[in-house]
């Protein structure tokens, strides 16, 4: 018997949506038009103070030989909880940024362009997560589909390239606990991050 589609949500360009993925269910993030970054946050749905840790996930995956700063197999929560929140089950793109743990905000747009009112992942995710009782201070971010060049970055060049995704490309994960997930269709239109044109994402939840 095939899996059942439980949730099918379109995240409009420059906006964010939130969904609860229960233990054993599958989360699929789909790039609908190509070249679109997805900024994703993960909370333990039963304990919102427990969140995804970028650094811990990269470190533990590197120790286990299952990932690096571009892709990982398991997404871990921060100490003292230190448990696997999500497991990557299908990743045909295998090109993500797990070296920053953050993304655009009002302050970033103010510093770069003098545009503090520009749409940002921080404001859109805060709005999407507020009905779930999540405080405004956001945790580490999983920057899906975002290429990362560590040599350029550590040489002082923080510019990003366009994502390699084509329409319909996706990332799929299985929830190992009940997880509240926030997904932002990155609003950046001033750099190649989204091919200079933010587009929608699709968020799907399937039964286990």
Mean pLDDT, the chain, rounded, equals: 86
pLDDT single digits (tens) 35-45: 999 999 999 99
Tell me the domain boundaries of the chain: 15-199
Name the least confident of 3-17, 81-95, 151-165.
151-165
pLDDT reported for residue 191: 73
Six token digits for residue 48: 């919102």
Q: Please state the rounded mean pLDDT for residues 104-120.
A: 55
pLDDT reported for residue 154: 67
pLDDT single digits (tens) 136-185: 778 899 999 988 776 666 666 666 778 899 999 999 999 999 999 999 99
In which band, very low, low, confident or very high, does the pLDDT at 193 lie, cut at 50, 70 and 90? Answer: confident
Where does residue 133 fall: left (phi above 0), alpha (psi -120 to 50 degrees), or beta otherwise?
Answer: left
pLDDT reported for residue 18: 97
Kindly list the distances between the CA atom of residue 71 and the CA atoms of 154, 166, 184, 187, in Å, as whole numbers in the listed order.
19, 18, 19, 22
**CA 46 – CA 24 distance, rounded (Å):** 15
């Amino acid at each position: 018997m095939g899996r059942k589609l439980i949730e099918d949500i379109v995240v409009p360009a420059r906006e964010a949506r939130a969904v609860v993925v229960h233990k054993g269910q599958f989360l699929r993030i789909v790039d609908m038009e190509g070249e679109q970054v997805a900024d994703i946050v993960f909370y333990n749905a039963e304990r919102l103070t427990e969140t995804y840790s970028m650094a811990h996930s990269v470190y533990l995956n590197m120790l286990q030989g299952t990932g690096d700063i571009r892709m990982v197999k398991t997404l871990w929560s921060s100490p003292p909880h230190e448990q696997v929140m999500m497991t990557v089950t299908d990743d045909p793109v295998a090109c993500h940024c797990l070296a920053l743990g953050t993304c655009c905000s009002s302050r970033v747009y103010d510093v770069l362009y003098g545009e503090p009112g520009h749409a940002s992942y921080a404001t859109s995710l805060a709005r999407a997560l507020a009905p779930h009782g999540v405080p405004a201070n956001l945790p580490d971010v999983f920057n899906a589909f975002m290429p990362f060049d560590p040599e350029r970055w550590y040489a002082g060049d923080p510019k990003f390239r366009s994502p390699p995704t084509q329409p319909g490309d996706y990332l799929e994960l299985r929830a190992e606990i009940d997880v509240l997930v926030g997904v932002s269709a990155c609003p950046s239109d001033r750099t190649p991050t989204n091919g200079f044109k933010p587009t929608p994402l699709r968020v799907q939840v399937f039964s286990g």
